[in-house]
């Protein structure tokens, strides 16, 4: 459980840094996401999740 909470905290740190350092670029990205088809976002999300699971599996063995 500690590893999960640590991972969640790191996600918040990374997101916070992006918001602090690149606020205008993040708005542009959100606009692009709004225009993207739902299916493309779903496939991208599933792909990212699969890569994340694979990465954890490889790192934690």
Name the pTM for this structure. 0.71
Q: How far apart are CA 2 and CA 10, in angstroms?
A: 12
Spatial distance between the Cα atoms of 23 and 52, rounded to a whole number of angstroms = 25
pLDDT category of residue 61 using cuts at 50, 70 and 90: confident
Share of the chain above pLDDT 90, in %: 85
Rounded to an integer, what distance in angstroms lies between the CA atom of residue 27 and that of residue 30? 5
Distance in angstroms between the alpha carbons of the first and the last residue of the chain: 17
Residue 44 phi/psi, 5-degree rounding, is: -65, -40
Segment 36-45, tens digit of pLDDT: 999 999 999 9
pLDDT given for residue 32 in this prediction = 95
Q: How many CB atoms lie within 10 A of CB 26?
A: 14
Mean pLDDT within 13-38: 95
pLDDT at residue number 40: 96
């Amino acid at each position: 459980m500690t590893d999960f909470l640590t991972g969640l905290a790191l996600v918040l740190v990374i997101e916070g840094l992006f918001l602090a350092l690149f606020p205008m670029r993040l708005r542009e990205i959100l606009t692009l996401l709004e225009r993207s088809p739902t299916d493309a976002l779903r496939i991208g999300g599933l792909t990212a999740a699969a890569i994340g699971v694979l990465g954890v599996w490889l790192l934690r063995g």
